[in-house]
Amino acid sequence: MKFFIDTANIDQIREINDLGVLSGVTTNPSLVAKEGVDFHERLREITSIVKGSVSAEVVSTKAEDMIEEGKKLAAIAPNITVKVPMTSEGLKAVHAFSEEGIKTNVTLIFSANQALLAARAGASYVSPFVGRLDDIGQNGIELIAQIAELFDIHGLDTEIIAASVRHTMHVTEAAEAGAHIATIPHKVFMQMMNHPLTDKGLHDFLADWDKYKNR
Ligand code: E4P
């Protein structure tokens, strides 16, 4: 499973990219609004740092407007993926983008049927929202497993991005369930690196080395 970062914050993107573990970035209108910056300018900055897929979401609701907006986003850099909401208008736009060779990420996926439709429309990626399903008492990871199984049975090559990741167990479980990618908030990336026994082990190694050097 590959790792994307789920943020529009440039410092966070740089920090995780420097670790050598990053394959892409996802943004959404809420994440961009939080940054208070020009959207296209921020996408230029992000795509100059990260060479993998960078998802940029359209905010239009009609297919023809989504197509116009998405083409402008895709023109910013060759690694822009146009993020489109899972609606009937969104599916039409995804189909049009796929005919033109523009990559798409269908977002706000909450059921297997939505994922199947998005894949058939030509989506490059689907983004099931694990955390938001958990929030309403449904099992987000089970949905990832179900979509992975269905895509496998039917030979669909659309990649599954586990989105709305809230904690480290979501990452491990998404990998086990067959997600191709998890898009992870910066805070969860930091938590993934830590373990108290790593800290204690390193502390003890260095203390022993210090004693040995000063013997
Ligand atoms: C990413 O593609 C999604 O927009 C994002 O993961 C949603 O996360 P949230 O449910 O924490 O807002």
CA gap 56, 74 in Å, rounded: 9
Q: How many domains does the chain have?
A: 1
Backbone angles phi, psi at 139, to 5 degrees: -105, 105
**CATH value at residue 90:** 3.20.20.70
Q: Which of these is catalytic: 62, 83, 92, 211?
A: 83
**Residue-wise pLDDT tens digits, 52-77:** 999 999 999 999 999 999 999 999 99
Ligand 1: residues with CB < 6 A are: 6, 26, 28, 107, 127, 129, 131-132, 163-164, 183
Active site residue 83: yes
**Residue-wise pLDDT tens digits, 101-148:** 999 999 999 999 999 999 999 999 999 999 999 999 999 999 999 999
Helix (H) or strand (E) holding 189: helix 186-193
Nearest-CA residue for atom 10 of ligand 1: 164
Q: Could you list the residue range(s) of the whole structural domain that residue 64 is in?
A: 2-213
Read off the pTM. Answer: 0.97
Q: The complex's ipTM?
A: 0.98
Nearest-CA residue for atom 6 of ligand 1: 164
